[in-house]
Structure 1
Amino acid sequence: MDKPVPQPAGLALLRLLDPDYVEGALGRQVLAQDLSVLHGRQLLALLRRLRAAQSNQQYYAGASMEQAAQLFGAAIAAVKTELATRPHIPNKQEAKALRQAAARKR
């Protein structure tokens, strides 16, 4: 019978937060997708998800910054590169300012 491998205390919490947690799976999934068919907002959501997973890897799974960057760096770079080819999506403040400017013109 194999002994369980000791794990950082936070890894149990990470498994509760994400039951499907497998180290590096999200990065591989993103790299396997055709990012050019995704909408800009989907890419932004994917980027937020990747950054959160990278942070979780550091704080809960006990990975160093270098290890987390190695796991997610390529996927984050791919999403950022694709986002750079897209037109700018205004944030809430910019959208509000554009609406107000359009209302003043009427």
Structure 2
Amino acid sequence: MMAEHDEIISRVEVLKSGELILALESGGRSGYQHIYREGVGISWDNKLGAFKSTSRVKWSYPEWFFHILNTCNSDNVYYSISLGSEVDWVNISEQDKEEIEKGTAT
């Protein structure tokens, strides 16, 4: 199925709470709040305009990044999200950034 919405990730950030967010260039859509229905530890934060991990599972930030990306790009959800050409990396180690960029290179 075709993606319902194509979105660009403009910021990847680790919050003080330890949660990872993928902020969208567009600010997102209110319908994204339904991502929680997938039951995989991802929520939508309307105030931040970002998909957000939970802090319950102790995964690396690259693991969380790809978990969010794969969930959003799945056949059940129908969003297409990808890294933009200009991404703000906030509180992300250089090693994690490189792992994410390497995993998203086409």
Is TM > 0.5 for Structure 1 vs Structure 2?
no
- Greater fraction of residues in helix: 1
In our comparison, the structure showing a higher alpha carbon Rg is 1
TM-score, with normalisation over the residues of structure 2? 0.33
